Amino acid sequence: MVIKYEIEDDSSHVTADVIILGCSLPGIVTAHKLKKKFGNTMDIVVLDLAGEKPGGSKCNVAFQGEDDEENKETYDEGTAKEVIDNVARHYLNMLAKDFNIPLPDAIIAPEKVRTPLNKLFEYKNGMTAACLRDFHDFDYLNVLEKFELNQYQTLLDENMKGLFQANKFDDASERHRLLYYDQTTMEKHICGALLFPNSRDIMRTTVRLVCGASAKTVSVLFYLHQCYRSSSSRNHLDGNNTKFREKLLGYCRKRLANKLQKSIANITHSAKTIKKISSYADEQVILKTIKGDTKYVCSLLAMALKPDELRNFEFEAQLLTDREIAIIRSMIKGKTKKFLVQYEEHFWRREGYSGDILSIKGPIIWATERPKISSTDSMERYAALIGYLRVKDDDDNLRDGVLSQLVGLFGEEAADPISYKESDISDVYVPCCGDFITLRRLTLRTVPKYLEWGALDIFADGDVASALEAGHVAYLHLMSYLRPQAQTYEDVSTAEWPTIINDNPFQEWLAQLTLTTGVRLMVYTAITYIGIRLVQSYTRK
């Protein structure tokens, strides 16, 4: 039971075992799992600094019926197969089961909504190519471009497996590799590995879609970590990608956040501004407010705020170093702009197109048909395309450019939509190159002395599965510190995702063979041969 008592200086104290500061999605996931696990046997307090509760979902897309047991059984079997390949679906499904929320097929079972119609790829010069298979097959590229892009993705996958698989953190050489990737920008890595402009532009577009920022500001290590969340770099350009569709619809975040807020309503306190966070006698953390207001005392404080919100707090030196504060505050806020355009009918289908678009020309860089609003079609009034736009600082409205691009792709009917909307998606907070290791060590500390940073919300509004994962990891850290005997195999094995990726030494070696390495090998061979011939000639003379 949370204790609240009055003291002589006209302020009151609230004491608890754990205080979660902030109502971000990772924070309320952490609180929900702690409350579900321990109930009233642990004092848990959530401090809501914003005071605003998210509303319910406004996007009702087609999903499985809750009362259809036959469909539910098939759905669960399909889900079990999907989570082997995609960590996003795994965490979405885990929380959805807690609240009995049926997930849309477009997100959790994309194979059910596949279409035989063509997808479109648009080159920088406006030329287009149609393809029946997923974007990451790159059928629209020439043989050399396709080879080097596939090799580059294989190389990224091999590096990702070597760096982030749970059983790989064991020696100094791995830490050296982590430091190398962290100090190397993604743009430099792309240019060093790829020769052709189309290949490079596709990878730059992919980085922007995944991280919400350009390749110039993303470190290789951070991008590999994003690939690790879906077990492969090859998932990111698929028109049925879980993360893309979920971010566009906003369905899971709104429904899950609403349910989570209700589940922890009785332990959530509206708090005034926190001025300083300090410790007392190496045993407690104290959150100080302005004089006369409630102060909060706990054994362990979980930080569940966005990095830019930390600028409002003063930390005691032993709780957080100046360097760590600087790294957190200096993270770049990734941002993606989405659009939704509606028409009277799906005119693109008459031409044999599915509505899926990948473009390195812009302003549209990725788009798909919006899923049906009703599984019976009774509420589907209009056809619609939804997708991402290339964001520039001086672009307030890209409507004319979007419609012009759609006209070039699908014909003149695209020029007269019923409605057009643009909105921002706050995607992720991107660490500066060189800072990701410190941030990763900070958020993955297994034994926090005072502060737990696993729920630090660097995932903003877009990457819901990553926010759910962060909340689960923070819950495990808190539990291992306060009640280690309460951990279960299921809890721990979930956090060690993925353990199913198989290592293949031959494939790792093969991934090193690219066009650039081939050219270098030819040059080095030619130089060696000429050098040997010169030495032989000199010796004979």
- 367: three-class secondary structure by DSSP: strand
Residue 359's pLDDT is 94
Integer Cα distance of 471 and 484 in angstroms? 17
Is 90 exceeded by the pLDDT of residue 484? no
- Confidence tier at 60 by pLDDT (50, 70, 90): very low
User: 447, 449, 478, 442: which is closest to 282 by C-alpha?
Assistant: 449
Q: Which of 76-80, 167-171, 178-182, 405-409 tops mean pLDDT?
A: 405-409
Residues 345-394 pLDDT 10s? 999 999 899 999 999 998 999 999 987 654 444 455 678 999 999 887 66
Tell me, yes or no, whether 116 lies in a domain: no
Tokens 């057009």 — which residue? 420
Entry pTM: 0.83
Which alpha helices (H) appear in 382-488, and where do they start and end? 399-410, 436-443, 464-482
Residue 97's pLDDT is 85
- Give the dihedral of Cα atoms 201, 367, 161, 192; nearest 10 deg: 0
Tell me, yes or no, whether 184 lies in a domain: no
Is 60 exceeded by the pLDDT of residue 212? yes
The number of domains in the chain is 1
How far is C-alpha 104 from the geometric centre of its chain's CA atoms? Answer: 19
Tell me, yes or no, whether 41 lies in a domain: yes
Tell me, yes or no, whether 274 lies in a domain: yes
Tell me, yes or no, whether 139 lies in a domain: no
Across the chain, mean pLDDT equals 80
Span of 81-85, 112-116, 276-280, 493-497 with lowest mean pLDDT: 81-85
Integer Cα distance of 26 and 465 in angstroms? 10
Integer Cα distance of 355 and 157 in angstroms? 29
Counting other chains too, the contacts that 482-487 makes at CB distance below 8 Å and 24 or more residues apart are: 482/17, 482/18, 482/42, 482/299, 482/300, 483/38, 483/42, 486/37, 486/38
Residue 127 or residue 427, greater confidence = 127
| Cβ–Cβ < 8 Å for 51, 270 | yes
Residue 15 structural domain: 3-56+267-331+432-495
Tell me, yes or no, whether 176 lies in a domain: no
Integer Cα distance of 17 and 14 in angstroms? 11
Integer Cα distance of 385 and 252 in angstroms? 19
Query: What is each CA distance from 392 to 360, 362, 389, 397, 429, in whole angstroms?
Result: 15, 11, 9, 10, 17
Tell me, yes or no, whether 135 lies in a domain: no
Domain with 448 in it: what CATH number?
A: 3.50.50.60
Tell me, yes or no, whether 197 lies in a domain: no
Sign of the alpha-carbon torsion through 290, 291, 293, 298: positive
